Structure 1
Amino acid sequence: MFHFGIYSVWILFVAVFNVALCNYSEDQCSWRGSGLSQQPGSVEQISLHCSEGTLDWLYPQGALRLSLSPRLPSAAVGPGGGGGSSGLITACVKPSGDFHGAQLYLERDGVLELLLGDRGADPAAPPMVRCFSRLPGERLALYLQATPHQDISRRIAAFRYELRGDWTARLSLDSNRVNSEDACRPCNNTEILMAVCTSDFVVQGNIRSVEADQSLRAAVIKVSATRVFRQKYALFTGPGRLIRRGDIRTLQQCGVRPGSGSFLFTGRVHFGEAWLGCAPRYKDFLQAYLVAKEARQIPCELAVD
């Protein structure tokens, strides 16, 4: 049984993953506050209504109750092209580099699982992204527990969050739960054509090199983009239209290696970084696209001419 106290306070961060269709403003995406303004044992009620945002909690003490009601597409589609009819919502949290003064737990069916530890205990450890999903009807909660400290100065528990509908294992960053067989398998033609329509970026280009990102246990694909069909953010930049470069991350266990030839890279933006979805060779994509277009079975048009 957990007790509230001056130096050991449970901060309740209840994540209500219901897909809301109401409008929201950008100032409802993030929260910043201080535990010094709260009475010991009090619980401050907070509600955010975005699919991504930040929480910055200075001098953790007292308690927060944060409800998330993100406005997500009614038919959210993951990078592999799966439909959103399953009602699956995936959430990811990324702690700041100096996350300190609290521990974050996921509570699922009454069982607590540590997601983020107090980095003050091991400041050399890289901040890890943790992801988890809620199935329809499942009840989840996040608990942010202030760790006991006589001196709470210079302690900030801060993290970014993202919630998406039907993210598949292709984009899962929780390496302890990744199904590598599903995450690394090549996309079929149907998935490729859907990814072209729904991805945050669609780029034709070549692989310059592949490097390791040990902090995320990911492979970083260095891409020279010859054509940028679409990008949600400025992921691929350069001095001219024909000279653009950018990085795309994927799971390290997929074993991506540098190779010759032109590819079509698609995927999602995750905490400001590009993550790979489908990546067929461009000639294979073009053949599948033209066949589907002739049969009037393409989900969207792409200016391939």
Structure 2
Amino acid sequence: MTVITYMCLSVLLSVSLPGILSQNLCSQCDCTISDPDGGDRAILNVKPRCEEGRVTWLNAYGAVRMELATSTAGDARLCIRVQSDNVNTVVSQETVTEVPGNYRLKILDDVHVRLSPLFTTRGQGKEHCISASGPVHLYLETERSDEDVGVARVNVHYDIEKISNSLRYSPMEECRPCSDAELLKAYCSSDFVAIGTIDDINHDNDVSHIQVSVTKMISQIESVFQKPAAGWTRPHELKGVVHAPVRCGIRHGVGQFLFTGRVRLGRPVLQCAPRYEQWKSVLEIARNNELLECSYG
């Protein structure tokens, strides 16, 4: 399918044409969609019902229209990260323009949708965020060359956050220490909470990859930290990698830390990581004043 930088898509919104699947193909947090057999370049409509998850697009041959929105009104940050295997994926944002009609000239009201290109990716893509006060419509289209072999597969991780939320700020956009209140909240509500040490830190263009050895696992909803491969001299110790922005300047510190964060856009992102001694002081005060909202600790 030829990529068109700007095109009128009003016909897609008003009628159903051959090759266009107008029904919602995703009503869960994580879902798998696929282009129809026979090579028809369909346009698949996707509207996940959750505020974070993943859409897996198999046999990616046509295009996908994806609607992302919060469950409540207000300003939000909508972020996606696209992994495109054996194919290039062009991601654009739909912009709606209403054209008023003229009843004297018998011209009907019309709605035009233009595509504003955001980025093109192949392989593991970077995070891209949009701030909006309403639903955001994205248009994903694949470009496949004669040299591409294998099944075309596109994974879209999405994450939607209310901007007004004081704790769940975007960790990939802000770098600041967590307050005591945020530490207590993160300790009780994060996707992973662990005490451990930093083994090493590797950096790429914009992300720091922090290798962690866990000495005490508090909680985790996914296997962020796991037992290392056979032969490790400390078989009961867990290991894992968490991520943070390079611009935060995280360095290889000695001693133990409390690591908290969430699995965001398919990877564990560090949120609050105080030194363990600092955390013990915060925890003791919270216990004495009955401020701790969770039972573990």
TM-score under structure 1 length normalisation = 0.68
Which of 221, 226, 244 is residue 215 of structure 2 equivalent to?
226
Q: Answer yes or no: is 1:31 the counterpart of 2:27.
A: no
Secondary structure of 2:140's partner?
Answer: strand
Distance (Å, rounded) in 1 between the aligned partners of 2:274 and 2:20:
44
Which of 282, 291, 294 is residue 288 of structure 2 equivalent to?
294
Contact 1:30 1:55 in 2 (8 A): yes
TM-score under structure 2 length normalisation = 0.70
Which of 200, 205, 212 is residue 191 of structure 2 equivalent to?
200
Secondary structure of 1:277's partner?
Answer: strand
Deviations 1:220-251 (A, max 9, x none): 11111110000111221226774111111111
Note the C-alpha offset of 1:286.
Answer: 1.5
Q: Which amino acid aligns with 2:54?
A: G
Structure of higher CA gyration radius: 2
Distance (Å, rounded) in 2 between the aligned partners of 1:297 and 1:278:
18
- 2:128 maps to 131
RMSD: 3.7
Note the C-alpha offset of 1:296.
Answer: 2.1
Q: Answer yes or no: is 1:275 the counterpart of 2:280.
A: no
Q: Answer yes or no: is 1:254 the counterpart of 2:242.
A: no
- 2:56 maps to 55
Seen in structure 2, the aligned counterparts of structure 1 residues 103 and 69 have a Cα distance that, compared at 3 Å, is same
Deviations 1:27-50 (A, max 9, x none): x62212247453x6x644444434
Q: Answer yes or no: is 1:212 the counterpart of 2:199.
A: no
Note the C-alpha offset of 1:282.
Answer: 1.1
Contact 1:13 1:142 in 2 (8 A): no
Contact 2:244 2:270 in 1 (8 A): yes
Q: Which runs of 5+ in 2 are unaligned?
A: 1-5, 10-18, 98-113, 163-167, 229-233
Q: Which amino acid aligns with 1:104?
A: V
Contact 1:34 1:60 in 2 (8 A): no
Q: Answer yes or no: is 1:114 the counterpart of 2:103.
A: no
**How many aligned positions are there?**
253
Contact 1:12 1:66 in 2 (8 A): no
Q: Whose strand proportion is higher, 1 or 2?
A: 2
Identity of aligned residues (%): 23
Contact 2:215 2:237 in 1 (8 A): yes
Contact 1:99 1:157 in 2 (8 A): yes
Distance (Å, rounded) in 2 between the aligned partners of 1:36 and 1:294:
67
Deviations 1:75-105 (A, max 9, x none): xxxxxxxxxx9552533122234332x4111
Q: Which amino acid aligns with 2:290?
A: R
Q: Which amino acid aligns with 1:106?
A: Q
Seen in structure 2, the aligned counterparts of structure 1 residues 36 and 134 have a Cα distance that, compared at 3 Å, is farther
Q: Which amino acid aligns with 1:268?
A: R
Q: Answer yes or no: is 1:187 the counterpart of 2:184.
A: no
Seen in structure 2, the aligned counterparts of structure 1 residues 36 and 132 have a Cα distance that, compared at 3 Å, is farther
